Amino acid sequence: MHHFPRPSELTLSVTREPVDGLCPVCGRESLARYPVVAEHGWTIVTKCQTCLHSVERSPHSPLGSITLLSDSV
């Protein structure tokens, strides 16, 4: 691991997809969806970028990052 001062979940080089809607916790419109590596593999999280509240979590395919790349082309 490198010496990142921030939580590793926020420093992954993944594409964050902006999500419409307000955070139910802090009320800000700063939701984003992106894949993270969890214990069971890739997981898609929708998370407030302001207070880091997890709005939604859903399992992702093992090739999640590749799928994301093809979707963005």
Catalog residues that contact Zn ion under the rule CB under 5 A. Answer: 23, 25-26, 48, 50-51, 53
Least distance to Zn ion, CB of residue 54, Å: 10
Q: Whole-angstrom Cα distance, residue 4 to residue 50?
A: 19
Q: Whole-angstrom Cα distance, residue 54 to residue 5?
A: 21
Q: Which is nearer to Zn ion, 21 or 59 (CB)?
A: 21
Q: Is 53:23 a contact under the CB 8 Å cutoff?
A: yes
Least distance to Zn ion, CB of residue 30, Å: 7
Q: Which is nearer to Zn ion, 50 or 65 (CB)?
A: 50
Q: Whole-angstrom Cα distance, residue 29 to residue 51?
A: 11
Q: Which is nearer to Zn ion, 46 or 64 (CB)?
A: 46
